[in-house]
């Protein structure tokens, strides 16, 4: 039973909580009712290919519809992306980091640097029709304000960034990490509470299955808690952050069930390495994700 025996039993159907062999009519009913769609994305650096066009060709051939570039220098790449994406089925999904400074720094000039550079990236993200800019408030090695002060100041900053993002038709997205990297924000529910407290519809959150392996007591609980604030997902193998399927028993069913339950409309994006040849491991990961999405 372990951690999958959990809440939402009545809504999801008890049988739906167990993979494959004992699915029930309740799970079929859920599948029918959900408005969720599976939209696969890959970080630019993860896709196979030397040039942007080679990467897009590879992704398109493997059923991806999203590309997640880094935020560094994004303003200078708007034309490059617009040209490369013309007449393709791929769009820009989220933008990952690439800003200077960090938002909960002890030093106010570092906080300002973060605000200014995030706004620059948000403008470019909006021009590219992106879901949002992924942001971590601070990593463990970055000297930050005490927690309660950090949270209060972050909420104010989030409001400002969220309203700015809205004007540019995009969002700022909080990413919880695992405790070894960023103790300040580890749980999807906490990120969603911050988004809620910001009072801006331009603030969202994202989930990363690999970090969630170490921090969340339940993928399902985490995703349902994030609910309407959840605007992006990262995926990797559960133990070593390789391609989904490269670790034994890689399982995303609980999370996928929850994504279906909340009618998730955004991307699931590869953020991982690979021990194998990506010509093989990426198509294998796509197959595994599609199979588990169907089962969920
Ligand atoms: Mg991530």
pLDDT in tens, 263-290: 999 999 999 999 999 999 999 999 999 9
0.85 exceeded by the pTM?
Answer: yes
Residues with a beta carbon under 5 angstroms from ion ligand 1: 208, 234, 271
| CA torsion angle 166 170 171 175 (round to 10) | 180
Residue 16 scores a pLDDT above 90:
no
Instruction: Report the pLDDT value the prediction gives residue 97, as an integer from 0 to 100.
Output: 98
Which pLDDT score is estimated for 38? Answer: 98
CA of residue 11 to ligand 1 center, whole Å: 29
Average pLDDT over residues 87-96: 98
Centroid of ligand 1 to alpha carbon of 291 (angstroms): 22
* H or E, element range at 44: none
* Among 197, 135, 124, 138, CA closest to 172: 135
Cα–Cα distance between 11 and 261 in angstroms, integer? 9
Res 135: pLDDT: 98
Q: Is 13 left (phi over 0), alpha (psi -120 to 50) or beta?
A: left
Mean per-residue pLDDT of the chain? 91
Give the distance (Å) from ligand 1 centre to CA of residue 231: 13
How many Å apart are CA 53 and CA 263, to the nearest integer?
Answer: 32
β pairing state of 203-208 and 230-235 = parallel
Q: What percent of the chain has pLDDT over 70?
A: 89
Which pLDDT does position 88 carry in this prediction?
Answer: 98
Portion of the chain with pLDDT greater than 90, in percent: 89
The pLDDT confidence band at residue 33, using thresholds 50, 70 and 90, is confident
CA pair distance 198, 106, nearest whole angstrom: 20
**Spacing, Cα 18 to ligand 1 middle (Å):** 27
Tens of pLDDT, residues 145-182:
999 999 999 999 999 999 999 999 999 999 999 999 99
**Residue-level pLDDT at 31:** 54
Distance (Å) from CA 223 to ligand 1 centroid: 15
Q: Give the architecture (CATH level 2) of 34-295.
A: Alpha-Beta Barrel (3.20)
Residue 13: pLDDT band (50, 70, 90) is very low
- What pLDDT does residue 28 have? 43
The structural domains of the chain, with segments of one domain joined by +, span 1-31, 34-295
């Amino acid at each position: 039973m372990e951690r999958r025996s959990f809440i939402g039993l009545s809504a999801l159907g008890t049988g739906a909580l167990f993979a494959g062999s004992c699915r029930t009519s309740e799970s079929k009913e859920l599948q029918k009712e959900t408005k969720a769609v599976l939209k696969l994305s890959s970080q630019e650096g993860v896709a196979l290919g030397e040039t942007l066009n080679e990467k897009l060709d590879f992704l398109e051939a493997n059923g991806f519809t999203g590309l997640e570039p880094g935020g560094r220098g994004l303003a200078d790449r708007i034309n490059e992306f617009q040209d490369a994406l013309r007449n393709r089925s791929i769009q820009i999904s989220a933008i990952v980091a690439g800003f200077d400074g960090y938002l909960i720094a002890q030093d106010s000039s570092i906080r300002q640097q973060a605000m200014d550079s995030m706004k620059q990236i948000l403008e470019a993200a909006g021009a590219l029709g992106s879901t949002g800019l992924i942001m971590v408030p601070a990593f463990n090695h970055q000297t930050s304000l005490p927690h309660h002060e950090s949270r209060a100041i972050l909420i104010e900053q989030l409001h400002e960034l969220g309203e700015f993002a809205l004007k540019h038709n995009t969002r700022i997205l909080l990413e919880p990490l695992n405790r070894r990297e960023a103790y300040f924000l580890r749980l999807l529910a906490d990120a969603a509470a911050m988004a809620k407290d910001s009072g801006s519809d331009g603030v969202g959150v994202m989930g990363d299955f690999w970090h969630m392996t170490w921090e969340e007591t339940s993928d399902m609980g985490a995703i349902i808690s994030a609910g309407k604030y959840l605007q992006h997902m990262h995926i990797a193998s559960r133990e070593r952050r390789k391609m989904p399927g490269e670790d034994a028993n890689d399982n995303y069913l609980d999370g996928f069930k929850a994504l279906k339950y909340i009618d998730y409309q955004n991307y699931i994006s590869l953020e991982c390495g690979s021990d194998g040849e990506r010509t093989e491991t990426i198509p294998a990961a796509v197959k595994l994700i599609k199979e588990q999405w169907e089962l969920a």
